[in-house]
Amino acid sequence: MKNKSQLEDYDLVRRANKGDTSAFRQLVYNYKDVSLTLACSILKNEVLAEDVVQEVFIKVYYKLKSFKFNSAFTTWLYRIVVNTAYNELKKRRIKDSIDDDTIGGPIIEIEDKDHLKDEDQKHYINLALTRLRADEALVLRLFYLCELSIKEIKGITKFKPSKIKVDLHRGRDNLQFHLKQLLGEDINYLL
Amino acid sequence: MNEDQYKRIIKKSSIETSEDFVNDLMRAIEEREHTKSLILGRYYRTILTICTVLVLIMTYLLFKVLSLDYGTLNTWLGNYKTPIFMIVSALLLYGLNNVVKLNNKFKSYN
């Protein structure tokens, strides 16, 4: 059973395949932010991740005709995002794990603790996620941000279900640990 | 933290692309299309010349083969020589025409 957004995606893909540039633009517009967030989970660098996402959408533009309508467009797209980002990571030899001196860094003092703005919250959450291993951050975001099942995550990442479960478990623990490191007891403002 | 709290926190972590992302992307795609057409445009004359020479060689060889005497085969082929020759020549010309059409298509992108 296909849901409404999936059917809308299919319609956009069909129109884009017929040469409708506005349909392709709409597809990019709908998924550019999620794609960037996923790429950032792996690359830990927003500027580099944006370049990778641009490369991804160029690939999508040329490969769109090969898309078979037997899976969700998002599954197909996220698979390209994840593969391209991991390839870029390999190419640039960026260390998968973070440097030891960045783990458990100093607790940042927040001046106005009663009013932790949305932007500040986002900043600290992303900082904590940057400190996770790429696989953990990716699986956490696919599970909670994209609301995908373990089976769907397996389809995108090609990780074993057991690894996905372990990454989810460790990712949750490590996220909480790093948020506590960054915010101390003020972590409660995020909840 | 419970599941809902993790979900709420990670939902807040969404990162947005730069404002011009879509326009930059479309521009990059247009540039690639343009480069592709330039490559074909540059080699168009060479490709067309090679194809024309090949068509002429193939036509000559085909004419020669069909003119030879193969005994029984020749008797069987005898009535069909002209149609075979015409069909093969038409196919070769159709291929050549496609090269010309492809070039015109890429020219229209520019």
Per mean pLDDT, which of A187-191, B8-12, B58-62 is the most reliable? B8-12
According to the model, what pLDDT value does residue B107 have? 62
Q: Per the structure block, which two tokens stand in for B44?
A: 């168009």
- Interval A141-158 mean pLDDT: 93
Position B75 confidence tier, pLDDT thresholds 50, 70, 90: low
Closest among B1, B107, B96, B91 to B47, alpha carbons compared: B96
* Whether the predicted interface score ipTM is above 0.95: no
More confident residue, A123 or A104: A123
pLDDT at A47: 92
| Separation in Å, CA B104 to CA B32, B40, B100 | 18, 10, 6
The mean pLDDT of chain A is 85
Task: Of A105-114, B65-74, B97-106, give the lowest mean pLDDT range.
Answer: A105-114
Least confident of A24-28, A63-67, A135-139, B38-42: B38-42
How far apart, in Å, are the Cα atoms of A167 and each of A98, B9, B86? 16, 17, 68
| 3-state SS class at A105 | coil
Mind listing the pLDDT tens digit for each residue in A76-111? 999 999 999 999 998 876 554 444 444 444 445 555
Q: Is A179 on the interface with B (CB under 8 A)?
A: yes
pLDDT of residue B53: 85
Both tokens assigned to A28: 């990019």
CB contact under 8 A, B16 and A36: yes
E-strand spans in A10-155? none
Mean pLDDT to the nearest integer, B47-75: 73
Report, as an integer, the average pLDDT of A62-87: 92
Higher-confidence residue: B78 or A138? A138
Contacts of residue B11, defined as CB under 8 A and 6 or more positions apart, other chains included, come to A144, A145
Q: In this predicted structure, what is the pLDDT of residue B80?
A: 73
Alpha carbon distance A4, A10 (integer Å): 10
pLDDT digit string, tens, across residues B15-57 = 999 989 999 999 999 888 877 766 666 677 777 788 778 878 8
Lowest mean pLDDT of A150-154, A157-161, B58-62, B77-81, name the range: B77-81
pLDDT for the residue B58: 78
Q: Give chain B positions within 8 Å (CB) of A21.
A: 26
B9 touching A (Cβ < 8 Å): yes
Across the interface, do B14 and A145 touch by the CB < 8 Å criterion?
Answer: yes
Which of chain B's residues have a Cβ under 8 Å away from the Cβ of A118? Answer: 12
| Contact check, Cβ <8 Å, B12/A172 | no
Backbone angles phi, psi at A96, to 5 degrees: -65, -45
Instruction: Please report the pLDDT score of residue A115 as a whole number.
Output: 58
Query: Is A40's Cβ below 8 Å from some Cβ in B?
Result: yes
A and B: number of Cβ contacts within 8 A:
77
* A140 neighbourhood in chain B, CB within 8 Å: 6, 10
Q: Which of A72-81, B7-16, B84-93 has the lowest mean pLDDT?
A: B84-93
Of A182 and A107, the structure prediction assigns the larger pLDDT to: A182
| pLDDT > 70 in chain A, percent | 85
Residue of A139, A42, A113, A177 whose CA lies nearest to A121: A113
Is A100 an 8 Å CB contact of chain B?
no
